[in-house]
Structure 1
Amino acid sequence: MILTVTANPALDVSYRVDRLRPGHTHRIGAVFERAGGKGFNVSRVLHDQGIPTRALGPVGGILGDSLRADLLDAGLPHDLLPVAAATRMTIAVVADEATMFNEPGGPLSALDWSRLQDLVGSYLPRTEVLVCSGSLPLDAPDSSYADFVSLAAAHGVPTVVDVGGAPLRAAAEAGVAIVKPNAEELAAAVGEGDPLTGARQLHSLGAGAVVVSLGPDGLLAVTADGEWRATLPQPVVGNPTGAGDAAVAALADGLRRDLPWPDRLRLAVTWAGAAVAAPVAGSVDPDVLTELHDQVTITAL
């Protein structure tokens, strides 16, 4: 299976409005609530595609109970670690584009970090790929995901990491198989504004492959096998909140199946585009999924 770790879960709330007007009262057309955090979104996409997965993460407080209930209702295999820190909330206000409001996560104690590592370790003998995805809680060490990379490597399990800044750099130095930052996260890790140059720098630090999300401009990949750009002829209109998570799910599945890199990137762009067309993060639109696959252009750099 593909095991996902969400170190900083959230209850995701999405509001749909006709348009966003700061300083005005808004009537909300639709409300969606679900267990969120990038790793949970990755597992949801995998589960919907029939790929075995299990989602792990620490939860606490009233929102933690809501998150647990949603995962049970969705039938998503999971194992949640009860902790003292309260689970946070994220709010997306979706009009022509999504405006995000993300609460910080409460700090985890050293004991709870150790318990989370033990929980992950207990599943690694049954795991093909480990995914560590999303922000870290307050006061978490930069090496948090790098430690999971090393733990998984000891079991012969490759890891995909989606995070930014210093934790991204630490994961690369730990020899992670794939990192999937966006352009801002990459720049924060290496201090380089050009995505291709930054990806090459991160790759040279020890990451097996660096795949950079460029929003509507697709993906850029620097790997040991070559460098590519993957794009759609035109952007998909919708909610881009979970597009990166769908791309991570595709990359993890491609790694699990040892697909050639162009095929992995085609899959990642297709799933990301289908996620934009879906109403909430962690879902892909099945009709768009079929429509987009043959529209992806892969260009060698």
Structure 2
Amino acid sequence: MEQYTNLRAGEKGAYLSIIAYIFLSTLKLIVGYMGDSEALKADGLNNTTDIIASIAVLIGLKISQRPPDDDHRYGHFRAETISSLIASFIMIYVGIEVLITAVKNIMHPINQEPRALTIVVALFSAVVMFAVYKYNIALAKRINSSAVKAAAYDNRSDALVSIGTAIGITAAILGFVIVDTITAFVIGLIIIKTAIEIFKEAVFSLTDGFDPELIASIEKHVADIPRVREVVEVRGRHHASLTLIDVTVCVNPHLNVRDSHAITEQIEKAVQQLDPFATTLVHIEPYEPKAVVICEDDYHF
């Protein structure tokens, strides 16, 4: 099944993120402590929890590959979305910890001057994470994976954070030591902002939120199909990488089963052109024009 193949492909993105975060967090924390940079240490701490978030994504992808069973007739695909939700919680926790530490350092400044090496490490990290982001976002679009997309957003956030870290360290070396701590505070805000974006998207999917513009587009395309007399209802929801669409239409009540089935196939093809990951369930009803009731009073003037 294509969905399971896509989920296995998504694991590569999770593994890549884990390996990158283990390497970079170790490098940043060591150099951050040796080079006296609060911003680089905050960035390294962020990456340590990114490891946990990426592991959560990996576990979600693996659970999603379990086949349907007696109490999961649609499969376990939503485990992928739940893993994105867990990742957002972890990121929010880390962001708050970074903010608290930064505020403490602002209130009780530590006279440290970061070493030039910390700038090199921050810029190197930005390049690595941007490369990982490009790989994961392309993979997420190809397999339509919310979990891999969440990981990609996290990768992009980390690349931007590392650039900000390099700027803050540079300012601190030039004599504006407080800028390094302020940068750590900004890093915390960026982490929380990215986490909230991932959280909102996961909750939107888990609560069956759906794009109304796509619904309107499906209604229009289905209504244009020959022999479809009326589009009664179109509903949609996301099941991780799958898009489940329910369409109810009215057709000529005198059509035989074969002709009615042919119409459902046309509808399925029309929906799949709009969303290649869509699985469409079509319900056929007989078309019955509403009778026009004329009251006798209408003839009195």
TM above 0.5:
no
Please give the TM-score of this superposition, normalised by the length of structure 1: 0.24
Structure showing the higher helix proportion among its residues: 2
Q: Which has the higher contact order (CA 8 A, sep 6+)?
A: 2
Structure showing greater Rg: 2
Please give the TM-score of this superposition, normalised by the length of structure 2: 0.24
